[in-house]
Amino acid sequence: MSAPKIFRYICLFFLTGIFFGSFLSTFKNGWWLFLLSGSILVVASLPNKLSKKSAGENLYIVGIMLIFFALGCGRLIWFQSNFSQINQVPFQREIVLLGEVTKEPEVNINNQKVEFTAEKIYTTEGFLPISGKVLLTTDRFLDLKYGDAIRVSGRLKEPPVLGTFSYKDYLAMRGIGAVSYFPDISFEARNKDEILTPLFELRNKFQQQINLIFPEPQASLLSGLILGAKKNMDKTLMDNFSRTGTTHIIALSGYNITIVAIIFMAVLLACGLYRPQAFYFAVLGIVFFVLITGASTSVVRAAIMGILMLVAQKFGRLSLAANSVIFAGAVMALVNPAIVRYDVGFQLSFLATLSLIYIAPWVDEKLKWLPDLFYFKEILVATLAVEIMVLPILLYNFGQISLVAPLVNILVLPLVPIAMLVGFIAVLASFIWLPIGQVLAWAGWLILQCQISIVELFGALKFSALKVVTVYSFWLWVYYVALFIVIWRSFVVKKSSIKA
C-alpha cells in the first residue's frame, strides 16, 4: 500500500474513532484496548515488515489503523472531560462571572442567545480565573455585541436532553458547558476585541445598507447570499427554499460555499477567463466572504473545504485532493472532536467537498451525452454529486427530501454569483452616494426576484418535497456502504479499462 493511501486511512480511522466513540459509552472505559491491540500488532509484525513480507506488512497497517482509531476515541473522551471548567461549578446556585461575548448574539422574536466566555468567577477569596462558555438567554433589546466585556449574575443550569436529542452534547460541540436564563447583566467594557469587532461592525453596516436600498424579501435574500443572515426572511419563503432544496444558498455553510465556488468558476470561465485566473478569483471570493461574515469558526471550516475543492480541480490529482480534504477534516476534529457527530455544517462541508472529488467524475461519466452549454453541465454535475453525497444527512437531520432540487438548483444557482456581485457593487456604491446605489439596486432586485419567483413557483407544487417521518441511522450506513461500493467499482472498472 502506498504512503499517500496509508496516510488517508490513518486520518479516516482517526475520524471514525471519534464518531464511534460518541455513540458507544463502552469506549470510555475500554478504548485503550484498541490502542493495546494495535500496538501489539505493530510490534509483532515489525520483523516481517522490515523483511518486506506482505503478510507482516498488512498486519502492521491494521495495527496502525487500530491505534489511530483508539486515539480518535481517546481524544473525544478527553475533550468531553476537560473542555470546560464551567462543568465543575455547582448548578442552580447564584454565582457571579466576568467574561466576554465571543460571538455575535442571535436575536429572536422573544429573546436573544449570547455565547459568553467566562474568565473569572467570584468566590469568598474574590475573583479567581476560570475557563468555559455559557449560553445566555436574555432580553432581545439588551444591546450586546461581540467583544463586550460583561458581568453575569445568576444561576447556571445543565443543558437538557430533549427526547433522543442531547442538547448538552450539541452545545459541547461549540465548547459550551452550561446555560443560564435571563441572568442580571452589566457592562464592564464595550468592544473589547480589537481584531474581529471591526469585521462585525462592517457586517452590520452592510446589513443596514442592504435594508436601505433593497425592499423585502429581496433584502433578506441578498443578506443570506452575502452575509449568511436569514433571520428577517418571511417564513413562507423560507419554507419554499426548504421544499426546493435551495436553503444552502442562504446559509454560508460548507455545502453552500462548495456549490457557490463551483458556480463562480463556471461563470468566470464563461466570461472568458482562463481556469488558473478563475481559480484565484474564486479563492479571493471565498476569503472575502469569510471576512465579511465575521470569520466565525463554522464559516472558516467551510471556506477551507471550499478552497481545497478548488485546489483539487486546479491540479486534477485525485489522491492529493482527497488526502488534503481528509487531513483538514482530521485536524478540525482534533481541535474539536464533537463536530464529527453534532455539527451538521461540518458534515455537509466535509461530504460535499469529497463528493466533488469522488462522485462528480462518476456523475460526469454517466452524463457524458449531455452538451456542456455555457457550463450548465458542470453546474448540473456538481449539484447532483453533492446531492447524492449529502442526501442522507439532510433527511436524517431535517426529515424532508426535495424532489425538484436538481432542476431548481440548475435554474437558480447560475444566478447566485451574479446576484452577489451586482448586490455587492450596489451596496458599495450606496456608501459613496446613495442614489447611485439605489439605481444599481434595481438590477440586483431583478436578479433576486427571478430567484425568488423560481423558488416560489416550484415550492408551491404539492409534489415538490416529500416528508420523511423518521430516518434511522442504520439506513444511513446502508446508503453510504452501497454508495462506496458503486463508486469503488467504477474506479476499478476505469483502471482496468485504462490498463487494457
The predicted structure's pLDDT at residue 83: 66
The predicted structure's pLDDT at residue 498: 54
Contact 387, 360 (CB under 8 A): no
The predicted structure's pLDDT at residue 319: 65
Kindly state the DSSP code that residue 103 receives in the 8-state scheme.
S
Pairs from 449-457 (Cβ < 8 Å, separation ≥ 24): 449/218, 450/415, 451/221, 451/412, 451/415, 451/416, 451/419, 452/217, 452/218, 452/221, 452/237, 454/408, 454/411, 454/412, 455/237, 455/240, 455/241, 455/244, 455/246, 455/408, 455/412, 456/237, 456/240
Span 47-71, average pLDDT? 79
Q: Convert the pLDDT of each residue in 223-244 to its tens digit.
A: 888 777 766 778 888 888 888 8
Residue 256 CA: distances (Å) to CA of 8, 348, 430, 434: 25, 9, 27, 31
The predicted structure's pLDDT at residue 278: 81
Average pLDDT, the chain: 81
Query: Distance between CA 382 and CA 385 in Å, rounded?
Result: 5
Q: Convert the pLDDT of each residue in 337-389 to its tens digit.
A: 888 888 887 888 788 888 878 888 888 888 888 776 656 777 778 778 888 88
Alpha helices by DSSP H, listed for 214-296, are 218-227, 235-243, 254-270, 275-292
Predicted confidence band at 113 (pLDDT cuts at 50, 70, 90)?
A: very high
Predicted confidence band at 439 (pLDDT cuts at 50, 70, 90)?
A: very high
Query: Distance between CA 289 and CA 65 in Å, rounded?
Result: 38
How many of the other CB atoms lie within 10 Å of CB of 461?
A: 12
- Residue 296 makes CB contacts below 8 A (sequence gap 6+) with 103
Residue 424 pLDDT greater than 60, yes or no: yes
Contact 441, 218 (CB under 8 A): no
Q: What cell does 234 get?
A: 418571511
Query: Distance between CA 407 and CA 167 in Å, rounded?
Result: 36
- CATH architecture label of 86-189: Beta Barrel (2.40)
Any idea of the CA torsion for 336, 161, 241, 352, to the nearest 10 degrees?
A: 30
Q: Convert the pLDDT of each residue in 157-187 to its tens digit.
A: 988 877 666 787 778 777 788 999 999 999 9
242 burial via Cβ count (<10 Å: 0-12, 13-18, 19+): middle
H or E stretch at 113:
strand 112-123
- Vertex 192, ends 191 and 196: CA angle to 5°? 75
Q: Convert the pLDDT of each residue in 245-295 to its tens digit.
A: 887 777 666 555 666 676 677 777 777 778 777 888 888 877 777 777 666
pTM of the full structure: 0.74
13 burial via Cβ count (<10 Å: 0-12, 13-18, 19+): buried
Q: Give the amino acid at 267.
A: V
What separation, in Å, do the N-terminal and C-terminal C-alpha atoms of the chain show? 22
Q: Is the CA virtual torsion 223, 228, 229, 234 positive or negative?
A: positive
Residue 328 pLDDT greater than 90, yes or no: no
241 burial via Cβ count (<10 Å: 0-12, 13-18, 19+): buried
Q: Convert the pLDDT of each residue in 453-483 to its tens digit.
A: 999 999 988 888 877 766 677 778 888 889 8
138 burial via Cβ count (<10 Å: 0-12, 13-18, 19+): buried
